[in-house]
Structure 1
Amino acid sequence: MIAYSEALQHLLEAASALPAERLRLHDAGGRTLASDIISAQSLPPFDNSAMDGFALRADGTAFASGTGFAVQGWQAAGDDGTVGGEGAWEIMTGARMPTGLDTVVPVEQVEILQRHEGRPTRIALRADVSPGQHVRLRGQDVSEGERVLRAGDVLDVNARTLLHAIGVGEVAVVARPKAAVIATGKELVTEAEQSLQSGQIRDSNRPYLVGRLQAAGAEVVWQGTVGDEVAAFNAVLDQALDAGAQLLISTGAVSAGRYDFVPDALRERGARIIFHKVAIRPGKPLLFAVLPGGALYFGLPGNPVSAAVGQRFFVEPVLRRLLGLAPETPLQLPLQADVRKPEGLRFHARARVEVDAQGRLSARVLSGQESFRLMSMLRANAWVVLEAEGNLAAAGTYVRVQGWGHHEPVQLVSEES
């Protein structure tokens, strides 16, 4: 049995960043950038009005209420640039500022003195006007040549919106790691609606892991269940590899029981087992191996929370390495209450990060930490990690807190909720 820190070092040594591929922006949602994005244009691309009103030339001088102007022309959004004179130009929100004009007075602060064919021809100010007001300047949001996104950033809807606005239609992203999920056990029933016979359970681990892998940036290319026969296991393993899986994650059959066949089956295939059993709870029997051909194999225990811990703290660090991401930076928050833990084992606890009436954050480890319990996973919004030393973490101790997934920040809740 090895320490978690040693296991993590082995995991990261076995993985390296995947190559880049180019995608159209609208196909790149959720993908990880492989290189920085430098804007080739300014945003806004030209000075424009922030209000419906009248454009003026202030040239650094304020105008007093009551000042009158002749209206020289009209400028709507989408009109070409034009040269403004000394008077006023009627202008719409978003319209390009006529050259030489630098200030906008809202239509509500103007009195129309004269009209011609429905258009204002002379106005007077109903309020003082400051030079430069209500004008969006070229490059005020993004400057030409500015780095707007970095390699490793995830292309969420906000990032894609900005890139579209600055004219980026194609991006270089890291290839998505390809993963397979294999749930082992003759007791497993795949379909949720299927009635259970005596001794059967539903394979809730498989849909959980598929969802977590996808949220973490992987593409699940194969998933399925298999009984406790080595031949059947080898068959599904071949199917997963043929589908292109670079990571294979199985649940169950890695402990020390009569039907825990996975370690021996992997050895018979020529796999190199890097470690088997880690000083953690839950999930101590976890196995990591490298298959012939280089695919990485994670054998997770079958209890639901043990599988969740294996996914979060073993698979996801490898996914980050494959995606070219730096290691996570966890939160450090105080515990609300004493927490007992197993001596000598790194403990991964389902927890809630809560904010009190004064805005202070703290972590509350939930009751029901047994590895078969799913309800506490539903209530949790974070993981609390207690290191191996000692058997008690006292209230007020600052502990490591991580979101439910490496792409997912902790969702705060109030202490009353």
Structure 2
Amino acid sequence: MTLVPLETALERLLEDARPLSASESVALHEAYGRVLAEPVAALRTQPPFDASAMDGYAVRGADAGVAGNRLSVIGEVAAGGTFPGTVGAGECVRIFTGAPLPAGADTVVIQEDVTVVSPGMVELREPTRAGRNVRGAGLDFVEGDLLIDKGQLLGPSSLSLAASANHPRLCVVKRPLVAIIATGDELRAPGSTLGPGQIISSNAYGVAALARAAGAEVLDLGIAPDSRDAIAALVKKAVAAGADVIVTLGGASVGDHDLVHEVLTGEGMTLDFWKIAMRPGKPLMFGRMGDIRCIGLPGNPVASLVCSQLFLKPLLARLGGRPFRQDMRTARLGARMPANDRRQDYVRARIDELDGELVATPFDLQDSSMLRVLAASGGLIVRAPFAPASDAGEACQVLMLG
């Protein structure tokens, strides 16, 4: 089978991916990082009254403009309270930040500009312009105002805004559900005692973390042995659970025990592409089972995680209505690199900053089974197919990790 160029594979994977139509109502404290499915309009006016912006004295503007004026203090009002009377000429009310402005007053003189002459009497040390230090009703928003557009990713300020507008819940886009199925007779869960020929199953944990980082929910269906019936049973569970994406780990190559393609096809998957011109990650598989997208990731741990970064994350972001772009940066090579072959290469590299520039130094060992090297990598040097040899100090493109 001809190797599919990476850009072509990504285009085909994303070409008809749209935000999921389903939505759900969630409490505000659960809405952080979710995508808004319906616009948010103000249910109230904020502030709902003319309010003091400072601690000081509420006065008429006509009495505030002359230093030396003496005013009678006729009461006090704090946030949460009201003053029952009206401020007249030569009068003021002691007021605190957030309190409603008393009737008759339109200005607040800050307490630093006032001298207390005697109990019940103050003198203005500095003139204050009429209307100063007052937050007018509706300064922030008025009931009915559109505050947050549909499709916005909800962050701290937008959640506080929705709360201020009196929304206890928000309607958000449903998170894509990703079902993960690891395959292989040799795999055992972390913490297991290993027998001959067995290894620990590690890929699902990193893939699940990348999926959650893209806004998805994850259903880990565990490990299926190299059995058509066992793999098919977990695929059926994924379908029954309403998975939007089924991710298989391993078993998608061409060996006698690589059964994933056969099983998925038997369950109704139409293959779109298989085998990508990239390193690591050549045996990536993609197909559709109705509305469910199926991604067969390589079994090698590094290849599995690199493919998840390049293919799974943008797909999940698109399905969840979230913005996404790979963090690509320009750096200088920290070591010479040989010419590349026909596959796009993602080279694990240490990333340092020197004199304001990023320096990407490739690790000597690049085997796709070596998670320790990937964990130590700050980024992946991207080498185009047939890229010529490059010397240390030359510019390169780096896909940043983490």
Are residue 68 (structure 1) and residue 67 (structure 2) matched? Answer: no
| Secondary structure of the corresponding residue to residue 11 of structure 1 | helix
Q: 1:398 to 1:14 in 2, by over 3 A?
A: same
Alignment partner of 1:113 out of 92, 114, 117: 117
Are residue 199 (structure 1) and residue 201 (structure 2) matched? Answer: no
Counterpart CA distance in 1 for 2:299 and 2:244 is 21
| Secondary structure of the corresponding residue to residue 152 of structure 1 | coil
Superposed CA offset, 1:73-95 (max 9, x none): 22211124765434321111211
Counterpart CA distance in 2 for 1:145 and 1:353 is 50
**How many angstroms does 1:338 deviate by?**
5.2
Residue aligning to 2:60: 57
| Secondary structure of the corresponding residue to residue 335 of structure 1 | strand
Give the TM-score normalised by structure 2: 0.85
AA paired with 2:116?
I
Counterpart CA distance in 1 for 2:374 and 2:186 is 23
CA contact (8 A) 1:331 1:401 kept: yes
Superposed CA offset, 1:147-192 (max 9, x none): 43333322244432221111123322112211110111112111x3
Residue aligning to 2:229: 231
CA contact (8 A) 2:63 2:69 kept: no
**How many angstroms does 1:266 deviate by?**
2.5
| Secondary structure of the corresponding residue to residue 309 of structure 2 | helix
Q: 1:183 to 1:60 in 2, by over 3 A?
A: farther
| Secondary structure of the corresponding residue to residue 223 of structure 2 | strand
Residue aligning to 2:147: 148
Counterpart CA distance in 2 for 1:351 and 1:286 is 22
Between stretches 127-136 and 95-104, larger displacement belongs to 127-136
**How many angstroms does 1:122 deviate by?**
1.1
Q: Which runs of 5+ in 1 are unaligned?
A: 116-120, 405-417
Residue aligning to 2:81: 79
**How many angstroms does 1:106 deviate by?**
3.5
Q: Which runs of 5+ in 2 are unaligned?
A: none
Aligned 1:250-265 pairs, distance under 5 A: 250-265=248-263
Residue aligning to 1:374: 371
**How many angstroms does 1:40 deviate by?**
4.4
| Secondary structure of the corresponding residue to residue 155 of structure 1 | coil
Superposed CA offset, 1:51-100 (max 9, x none): 32222333697443x44222232221112476543432111121122245
Counterpart CA distance in 2 for 1:46 and 1:188 is 65
CA contact (8 A) 1:70 1:122 kept: yes
Residue aligning to 2:186: 187
Residue aligning to 1:242: 240
| Secondary structure of the corresponding residue to residue 118 of structure 2 | strand
Aligned 1:134-145 pairs, distance under 5 A: 134-142=133-141
CA contact (8 A) 1:317 1:327 kept: yes
| Secondary structure of the corresponding residue to residue 241 of structure 1 | helix
CA RMSD, 1 decimal: 3.1
CA contact (8 A) 1:180 1:245 kept: yes
**How many angstroms does 1:262 deviate by?**
1.6
Counterpart CA distance in 2 for 1:137 and 1:336 is 58
Q: 1:156 to 1:52 in 2, by over 3 A?
A: same
Between stretches 132-141 and 314-323, larger displacement belongs to 132-141
Superposed CA offset, 1:116-142 (max 9, x none): xxxxx2112345545554434444444
Residue aligning to 1:362: 358
Counterpart CA distance in 1 for 2:43 and 2:136 is 17
CA contact (8 A) 1:182 1:249 kept: yes
- Give the paired residue count: 394
Residue aligning to 1:95: 99
Q: 1:215 to 1:134 in 2, by over 3 A?
A: same
Q: 1:259 to 1:22 in 2, by over 3 A?
A: closer
**How many angstroms does 1:233 deviate by?**
1.1
AA paired with 2:233?
A
Q: 1:171 to 1:260 in 2, by over 3 A?
A: same
Q: 1:32 to 1:350 in 2, by over 3 A?
A: farther
CA contact (8 A) 2:275 2:283 kept: yes
Residue aligning to 1:167: 166
**How many angstroms does 1:215 deviate by?**
2.5
Residue aligning to 1:412: none
Residue aligning to 2:295: 298
Between stretches 199-208 and 360-369, larger displacement belongs to 360-369
Q: 1:175 to 1:281 in 2, by over 3 A?
A: same
Residue aligning to 1:2: 4
Between stretches 170-179 and 27-36, larger displacement belongs to 27-36
CA contact (8 A) 1:37 1:148 kept: yes
Counterpart CA distance in 2 for 1:332 and 1:317 is 18
Counterpart CA distance in 2 for 1:108 and 1:173 is 47
Q: 1:385 to 1:132 in 2, by over 3 A?
A: farther
Task: Give the % identical residues.
Answer: 32
| Secondary structure of the corresponding residue to residue 346 of structure 2 | strand
Residue aligning to 1:122: 121
CA contact (8 A) 2:382 2:396 kept: no
CA contact (8 A) 2:252 2:298 kept: yes
Q: 1:242 to 1:132 in 2, by over 3 A?
A: same
AA paired with 1:189?
R
Superposed CA offset, 1:228-272 (max 9, x none): 122211121112222221211111112233322222333333421
CA contact (8 A) 2:302 2:371 kept: yes
Superposed CA offset, 1:357-405 (max 9, x none): 7xx463635535432233344344555544435145664636364554x
**How many angstroms does 1:23 deviate by?**
0.6
AA paired with 1:39?
A
Residue aligning to 2:34: 31
